[in-house]
Amino acid sequence: MDHGIDGHTALVAASSSGLGKAAAKALASEGANVVINGRDEDRLEDAVEDVRDVADGEVVGVQADLTDPDDIERLVDRTVDTFGGLDHLVTNSGGPPSGPFLEMTDEDWYDAYDLLVMSVVRLVREAADHLREGNGGTIVTITSRSVKEAIGSLVLSNSVRMSVVGLEKTLSKELAPEVRANAVLPAPHETARQQELIEDAVERGEYDSYEEGLAAKGEGNPLGRIGDPMELGEVVAFLSSEQSSFVNGTAIPVDGGQGASNL
């Protein structure tokens, strides 16, 4: 399917690995010029080459820390200076520490808010005017299924990520009709982080093999498995496309039906 974004420009935050990189690959394979981002320069360079392998457009890497306002301003400016504009913004970040409520300090809460919420606030603030001037501007926020259903030992994610969905819904009204805003809510996917967790569990003797650990991760999911990162990436590309032109202000679970919430 031609998504109609050939020649458009997309900025994908926190995209040197995991779901962010999958989103960048999906957009790049549709012909978009893509700016990817990460903090680690070596990992970012590797990711640029990985995305270029499937790209029909240009791919540029910009090192930036999403908790640093100056870095975010530079990231957006570099995107616009390189490609002459910005059409699609994908917000994303790493996750906050896990643990129960009583183990979280004030600093943990403020750090989680800065990482998960203020990174989106600052990215959208810097990008909004460019998106309004672009080719049917879109914002897609990669967050978590924890906004629908609280997950054990993830009190920071359960609590703070809900602010991101509230922001996304507000943006879908305030920036319309020039810009659409939507969110995706992934369950676990087979990212490098999930692979590392499974391999660590194998070393601890919890599983006999990686395959056994991977299968265990999918238990309880109606589809009997966890997701492939590109399955999430393709949803992001769809929400950035002409085919989704009447989809605005929604939060779409990409979880294989794992969630128990009716809505």
Q: Does 114 share its domain with 43?
A: yes
Please state the domain count of the chain.
Answer: 2
Residue 75: inside a domain:
yes
Q: Does 81 share its domain with 203?
A: no
Q: Does 195 share its domain with 91?
A: no
Q: Does 211 share its domain with 156?
A: no
Q: Does 75 share its domain with 92?
A: yes
Q: Does 206 share its domain with 156?
A: no
- Average pLDDT over the chain reads 96
CA distance 11 to 231: 19
Residue 27: inside a domain:
yes
Residue 1: inside a domain:
no
Q: Does 171 share its domain with 215?
A: no
What are the structure tokens assigned to 145, written together? 């299924």
Q: Does 105 share its domain with 174?
A: yes
Phi, psi torsion values for 105, nearest 5 degrees? -90, 170
**What is the CATH number for 14?**
3.40.50.720
Q: Which of 164-168, 200-204, 244-248 comes out lowest in average pLDDT? A: 200-204
HSE-up of 149 (CA within 13 Å, CB side)? 13
Q: Does 78 share its domain with 171?
A: yes
Beta carbons within 10 angstroms of residue 176's beta carbon? 12
Mean pLDDT of 168-192: 97
The pTM is what? 0.96
Q: Does 145 share its domain with 54?
A: yes
pLDDT per position as a tens digit, 191-203: 988 898 899 889 9
Residue 175: inside a domain:
yes
Residue 29, helix vs strand vs coil: helix
Q: Does 204 share its domain with 167?
A: no
- Predicted confidence band at 136 (pLDDT cuts at 50, 70, 90)? confident
Residue 262: inside a domain:
no
Domain that holds residue 71: 9-188+227-249
Whole-number pLDDT of residue 203: 93
CA distance 46 to 108: 31
Residue 258: inside a domain:
no
Q: Does 175 share its domain with 196?
A: no
